[in-house]
């Protein structure tokens, strides 16, 4: 008996078939674009000034909106990547 772990099939073929790399790139572009647009609208008040007065400790309003933009970009990128990958998997299963 060998102490070597059993060999696993390479997962690169699955990642290639599902086009995960392309989906992640598209998701990243969509996420960053949405975050930049949201940041520009809020910081430059393109949709009008924010209602009410608020205080933004430590980094000011631009800093907080930048942090929120990073969160929005990463969440949107993840969502778009997952949706595109599921759609690709569905199309592949329909062909079989």
The mean per-residue pLDDT over the stretch 6-17 comes to 81
With b for 16 or more beta-carbon neighbours within 10 A and e for fewer, the 20-30 pattern comes to eeebbeebbeb
The mean per-residue pLDDT over the stretch 40-67 comes to 78
Q: pLDDT over 90 for what percent of the chain?
A: 50
pLDDT in tens, 60-79: 878 888 899 999 999 999 99
For the chain, how many residues are written?
A: 96
Query: What's the DSSP call for residue 51?
Result: S
Cα separations in angstroms, 81 against 14, 35, 38, 51, 92: 15, 16, 20, 34, 16
């Amino acid at each position: 008996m060998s102490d070597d772990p059993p060999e696993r099939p390479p997962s690169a073929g699955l990642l290639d078939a599902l086009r995960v790399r392309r989906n992640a790139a598209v998701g990243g572009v969509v996420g960053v674009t949405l975050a930049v647009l949201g940041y520009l609208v809020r910081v430059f008040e393109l949709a009008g000034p924010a209602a009410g007065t608020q205080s933004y400790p430590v980094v000011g309003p631009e800093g907080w909106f930048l942090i929120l933009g990073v969160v929005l970009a990463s969440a949107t990128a993840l969502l778009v990547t997952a949706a595109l990958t599921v759609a690709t998997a569905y199309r592949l299963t329909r062909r079989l």
